[in-house]
Amino acid sequence: MAIRKIAQIGHPVLRTPARPVTHDELAGGAVQRLIDDLVDTMRDAGGAGIAANQVYEPVRICTIEVDRNPRYPYKPPIPLTVLVNPVLEPIGEEMFDLNEGCLSVPLRGDLQRRLRVRVTAWDRYGDTVVHEVAGLTAGTFQHEIDHLDGMLYIDRVTDSRTLTTWQEFDRHRGQAFAAEMAAFVERIGS
Ligand code: NI
């Protein structure tokens, strides 16, 4: 297991749609090591998730985990989840407002995400798992799956005036935003 270098915005690997992996590749040592490294790298960087193309491996694999994350103290816990070849379908039309950051982009910004989505993927053993998720958890799933399609959250930021550094976000919006998110999580349940 190892901590890998994280690609930063401007590197083409972040803008190239990642390719699906086969069952045989997934069972092999290289891809299993990559999954272990994604988990280590995500935890080391304090991310809520990470996609394989963020560590320069252009395959459709991402990991997600939230456990009292200091970068995102308002996010409800998500157990460690590995998504291989995920397919995302919206459930209903409803959207919600969110502010996101990314390990590959040194800013945060406001955007909208689908309130509810269904994600069908393999787990790391190649078994199909269906995740129906809502709210902030659904936002995290959408963010990571966007990476696999070569998209970054900034592509969804509709008002560039909401872009901030982490330090200025904490200074000027952190408390109010955490309170907004606490109320939202209370209402939606995730
Ligand atoms: Ni990201």
Nearest alpha carbon to residue 34 among 9, 8, 13, 4: 4
pLDDT at 139: 98
Give whole-number Cα distances, 10 to 13, 14, 97, 106, 152, in Å. 9, 8, 26, 12, 11
- Residue 22: per-residue pLDDT: 98
pLDDT tens, position by position, for the chain (190 residues)? Answer: 799 999 999 999 999 999 999 999 999 999 999 999 999 999 999 999 999 999 999 999 999 999 988 888 899 999 999 999 999 999 999 999 999 999 999 999 999 999 999 999 999 999 999 999 999 999 999 999 999 999 999 999 999 999 999 999 999 999 999 999 999 999 999 9
- Give dist(CA 85, CA 62) in Å, integer: 9
CA of 3 to the centre of ligand 1 (A): 16
Residue 137 C-alpha to ligand 1 middle, in angstroms? 14
Cα–Cα distance, 145 to 33 (Å, whole number) = 20
Residues measured by CB to lie within 5 Å of ligand 1, the ion: 102
- In the chain, where does DSSP find H-type helix? 23-27, 29-45, 135-148, 166-172, 174-188
Write down all domains in the chain, each with its CATH number in brackets.
12-188 (3.90.45.10)
Burial class (CB in 10 A: 0-12, 13-18, 19+), 98: buried
Please tell me the distance between residue 26's alpha carbon and the centre of ligand 1 in angstroms. Answer: 23
pLDDT given for residue 71 in this prediction: 86
- Residue with token string 């935890």: 43
Distance from the alpha carbon of residue 144 to the mean position of ligand 1, in angstroms: 6
Residues with a catalytic annotation lie at 144
Tokens read off for 145: 């799956």
pLDDT at 70: 86
